Amino acid sequence: MNPTTNANEMPLSVSRRTLDVEDYIDIMRRHRAWIVGPLFVGLVAGVVTAFLWPNSYVSSGTIRIVPPQVSQRLMQSNISEEMTQRISAIYQSLTSRESMKALIQTYNLYPDERKRLPQEDVFEQMRKDINLGPVQSMASRSTNSRINAFSVSYSYSDRRIAQRVCQDLISKFIDESIKARSTQSIMTTEFFKDQYELARRELEEIDQKIMALRIRNGGQLPDQEGMMISRIGALEAGLQTVSMQISRANQDKLQLQTQLRLLREQANSIQQTTVIEIPAQAAAKNQKLADLENEIQKIEAVLSTMRETYKEAHPDVQRLLGYLRLKQKERDRLLEESETAKVETPGGPQKRTVTNPEAVRSLRELNAQIATIQTALQNKDQEIEELTRQLKDLQARLRTVQAKAETAPAVAQEYAQLISGREQVKRRYDDLANKMQLSSMASDLESRKQGETLEQLEAPNIPEEPYAPKRPFIIMFGLIAGLGTGVALAAGRELRDSSLKNLKDVRAYTKMTVLGSIPFLENDFVVRRRRRLSWLAWAATIVIGVLLMAGSVAYYYTSNT
């Protein structure tokens, strides 16, 4: 075989041969500095990070949900919000800006973060540090029963401050729960009171409308229908009675008129048939006597009428009696003079025809009867006039009642609508009154703190050990990261190095038989110098790394003592 030909026929690039365990060991030996260096740096970084990372202590307490002291069957709560919803709302309130700002200022939390971070980032960090556990059912050691409880925890670099802040959060949880339930209960009661007052005013307005309708339309209401019918019947009966009384009065008046006509005819016949001649002077006296008699009759008629109205002791009656006695005495005197005296005139006696004394007495009696009948006729006319007025009044009242009866259906419909509306409002009023009473009792129960409340079951403890950071895991992660980085660097350098490293590479890539090998010879001075520089670099690196680790450990223990 021609060596020149074989060399020209060789390809420019060939694939790497398969590596065995010896090759890997050889690679690690060649690149041990690139593997050990990152491993050591990872160790130093892990140790420094683990010990410079400040401790975070978690203080946790447990809050118990206390059921109502009064059974729900006996007293229904007026709070519809579930306890889990209220706990979530209280947590939102406690993690608000104002609340967290007050806690930060009270306990001087996050001093370094407040200097270098915006305020919102500090608030967000505190929200992450406050943790609210779910409501869980757990066994109670004191009562040997199941209770509902949840935990509240707070993490901070100072364990005592963490405990105080956690205790403050638990106290605020309990106070806010009582305040929220009391406020919601009072608001519910106030709502029912407002609705109750509205219903009461509406009921009063409807009652006033019903009362005004009753007053304005008396007798037209459905419950007064019987009364209206009775009233119409009574008015019709009254009309019939008054009509009968008017008819009887007219009959009585007709009889009186007949009697009066007969008496007048009788009186005229007496005056025409029984006469005597008397002197003219006596005739004049007799005429005066007749006039006086008529006046006396009129006085007696008036007196009779007054006695129907006034008593005998009335001053007007007594005065009229005195006047009547005076006229009677004058009449008696004239009668005596007319019977005994005879008057003559100078030219001879002048005669006139007059009634004789017996006729005068009969005529006087007839005139008295005539005056009595005339008085009775006047009274009867007044009675008929009064009855006629009563008849017209009854007719007017009957027309009014009948007109009301005609409009009664419309009034009844309006009345029925008002009554129906009142019943609806009354039911709502009664329902609201009952709800308001129950809500007031529930509010009183909440004010006595006998409703569903929160109480501290376990006080926050002062943590002994920090929960973060996990230093062994951080150091282990640093070592793994350093080792991985070193392996990656060694692998990269190995892939980039295409030189032949040993006889296996020569045989594999040249396809020639190796008869022997000559070691690479270097200057001893150069070799010693390179070794010294390498040991110096490694020594400095190790010293610096050890110092960093020792310093971080010392800082950790001095800052936590």
Cα 190 → chain centroid: 6
Q: What is the mean pLDDT of residues 301-307?
A: 72
Q: Looking at the predicted structure, is the pLDDT value of residue 193 above 60?
A: yes
Model pLDDT, residue 450: 65
Q: Are residues 353 and 233 in the same domain?
A: yes
Model pLDDT, residue 516: 67
Model pLDDT, residue 500: 67
Q: Are residues 264 and 368 in the same domain?
A: yes
Q: Are residues 47 and 61 in the same domain?
A: no
- Whole-Å CA distances, 175 to 84, 168, 182, 337: 16, 10, 10, 128
Model pLDDT, residue 49: 84
271 domain-assigned: yes
Q: What is the mean pLDDT of residues 517-533?
A: 72
Q: Looking at the predicted structure, is the pLDDT value of residue 249 above 60?
A: yes
**250 confidence band (pLDDT: 50, 70, 90):** confident
Residue type, 260: L
Q: What are the pLDDT digits (tens) for 59-82?
A: 888 888 887 766 566 656 656 567
Using alpha carbons, select from 34, 47, 35 the residue that is nearest to residue 547.
Answer: 47
CB atoms within 10 A of CB 290: 19
Please state which of the ranges 94-103, 105-114, 259-268, 447-456 shows the lowest mean pLDDT.
447-456
Q: Are residues 89 and 161 in the same domain?
A: yes
Please state which of the ranges 311-315, 350-354, 464-468, 484-488 shows the lowest mean pLDDT.
350-354
Model pLDDT, residue 75: 59
Matching residue, tokens 């119409």? 232
**7 confidence band (pLDDT: 50, 70, 90):** very low
pTM: predicted TM-score of the whole model, two decimal places: 0.49
69 domain-assigned: yes
215 domain-assigned: no
273 domain-assigned: yes
- The rounded percent of the chain whose pLDDT value lies above 90 is 3
Q: Are residues 351 and 364 in the same domain?
A: yes
Q: Looking at the predicted structure, is the pLDDT value of residue 354 above 60?
A: no
Model pLDDT, residue 364: 75
Of residues 416 and 188, more confidently modeled: 188
**48 confidence band (pLDDT: 50, 70, 90):** confident
- Whole-Å CA distances, 41 to 47, 50, 408, 490, 537: 10, 14, 109, 15, 14
Q: Are residues 154 and 172 in the same domain?
A: yes
Q: What are the pLDDT digits (tens) for 194-217?
A: 888 998 898 888 888 878 877 776
Q: What are the pLDDT digits (tens) for 135-183?
A: 887 766 655 667 788 889 999 888 888 999 999 999 988 888 888 777 7
Q: Looking at the predicted structure, is the pLDDT value of residue 281 above 60?
A: no
Model pLDDT, residue 349: 46
11 domain-assigned: no
Q: Looking at the predicted structure, is the pLDDT value of residue 484 above 80?
A: yes
Q: Are residues 167 and 250 in the same domain?
A: no
Q: Are residues 76 and 140 in the same domain?
A: yes
**218 confidence band (pLDDT: 50, 70, 90):** low
What are the phi and psi torsion angles at 354 (to 5°)? -140, 170
Q: With beta carbons less than 8 A apart as the criterion, state whether 54 and 162 touch.
A: no
Q: Are residues 92 and 232 in the same domain?
A: no
**6 confidence band (pLDDT: 50, 70, 90):** very low
Of residues 499 and 427, more confidently modeled: 427
21 domain-assigned: no
Please state which of the ranges 45-54, 85-94, 293-302, 350-359 shows the lowest mean pLDDT.
350-359
Domain with 484, as residue range(s), is 31-53+469-559
Q: What are the pLDDT digits (tens) for 425-483?
A: 888 888 888 888 877 777 777 776 666 778 888 888 888 777 777 778 888 988 898 88
Q: Looking at the predicted structure, is the pLDDT value of residue 381 above 80?
A: yes
The CB-based long-range contact list for 313-321 (8 Å cut-off, 24+ gap) reads none
Among the ranges 6-15, 292-301, 426-435, 464-473, which has the highest mean pLDDT value?
426-435
**3-state secondary structure at position 43:** helix
Q: With beta carbons less than 8 A apart as the criterion, state whether 334 and 285 touch.
A: yes
Give one DSSP letter per residue of 53-86, joined into a string: SPPBEEEEEEEEEEPPSS-TTTS--S--S-HHHH
- Whole-Å CA distances, 191 to 152, 430, 450: 34, 15, 22
Q: Are residues 161 and 286 in the same domain?
A: no
Q: What is the mean pLDDT of residues 379-399?
A: 85
Q: Are residues 140 and 74 in the same domain?
A: yes
Model pLDDT, residue 165: 92
324 domain-assigned: yes
Q: Look up the CATH number of the domain holding residue 141.
A: 3.30.70.1130
What rounded mean pLDDT belongs to the chain? Answer: 77
- The rounded percent of the chain whose pLDDT value lies above 70 is 75
2 domain-assigned: no
Q: With beta carbons less than 8 A apart as the criterion, state whether 203 and 112 touch.
A: no
Of residues 230 and 394, more confidently modeled: 394
Structure tokens at 156: 């901070």
Among the ranges 16-30, 123-137, 354-368, 435-449, which has the highest mean pLDDT value?
123-137
Q: With beta carbons less than 8 A apart as the criterion, state whether 451 and 181 touch.
A: yes
Among the ranges 97-101, 147-151, 242-246, which has the highest mean pLDDT value?
97-101
Q: What is the mean pLDDT of residues 530-535?
A: 82
Count: domains in the chain = 3
Model pLDDT, residue 272: 61
For 151, residues 6+ apart whose C-beta sits below 8 A from its C-beta are 60, 61, 62, 63, 131, 132, 133
Structure tokens at 140: 């109670």
Q: Are residues 153 and 65 in the same domain?
A: yes
Q: What are the pLDDT digits (tens) for 395-419?
A: 888 787 777 666 666 666 777 787 8
Of residues 299 and 519, more confidently modeled: 299
